[in-house]
Amino acid sequence: MAILDIITPENPILRQPAEPVSRDQLKTLQPLIDDMIETMRAANGVGLAAPQVGRSLRLAVVETLPQYDDDGDEIPDSRDLFVIVNPEIVWQSRKEEDGIEGCLSIPGYVGEVSRHYAVRVQTQNRYGKKQRLKFNGWTARIFQHEIDHLNGILFTDKLTAPENYWTEEEYYKDDEEESAERVVSAD
Ligand SMILES: [Zn+2]
């Protein structure tokens, strides 16, 4: 396995609609899938789409956030890993939610994006088996973000407002200040 280079928006591949993956092709893509999983994990990401590693293919990997017990400790094996091939959103809730997103292709920046609260995704897994998955909340957000990548769309195209875009440093600094203010005003 290998850690792959993640491309940034200067590379036009990130803006191209990706090509569908055929069944025969999928057999040859198993090493790429393993490398994408390894690359996502090495970058502490929750998702990675093939165009982000320079391959214009409708293929992405997603790993959900861990769950925590009452003491705040991570529950072992509470993360789910998905390999999605030719995924399509076949239903989306009318309800939307704003949330803060980043992207491994846009390192150092975050922005506020509105996403459907729940989605149903029709996809194939890494072996070509058809699956229908339903997600809500943060996991639904990750799937929408990754499927956007397969259509050449980045989260920066979908900001709730142009000014709702920050460097990580700015965002987390403000966040700390706000929490400090909250603590002060709670007295
Ligand atoms: Zn991304």
Spacing, Cα 90 to ligand 1 middle (Å): 21
Examine the pLDDT at 5 and tell me if it is beyond 70. yes
| 180: confidence class by pLDDT, cuts 50, 70, 90 | low
- Strands 165-167 and 109-116, sheet pairing: antiparallel
**Residue whose pair of structure tokens reads 């920066």 in the numeric block:** 156
Catalytic residue among 146, 169, 178, 181: 146
The pTM is what?
0.90
Rounded to the nearest 5 degrees, what angle is found at the Cα of 51, between the Cα atoms of 65 and 146? 35
Model pLDDT, residue 1: 81
3-state SS, residue 76:
coil
| 184: confidence class by pLDDT, cuts 50, 70, 90 | low
Domains in the chain and their CATH numbers?
12-182 (3.90.45.10)
Spacing, Cα 149 to ligand 1 middle (Å): 7
Examine the pLDDT at 169 and tell me if it is beyond 70. yes
Spacing, Cα 183 to ligand 1 middle (Å): 34
Spacing, Cα 26 to ligand 1 middle (Å): 22
The reply to whether 169 belongs to the active site is no
**Worst-scoring range by mean pLDDT, 69-83, 111-125, 164-178?**
164-178
Give the Cα separation of 116 and 98 in Å (integer): 9
Examine the pLDDT at 181 and tell me if it is beyond 70. no
Give the Cα separation of 31 and 11 in Å (integer): 23
For the chain, the average pLDDT equals: 94
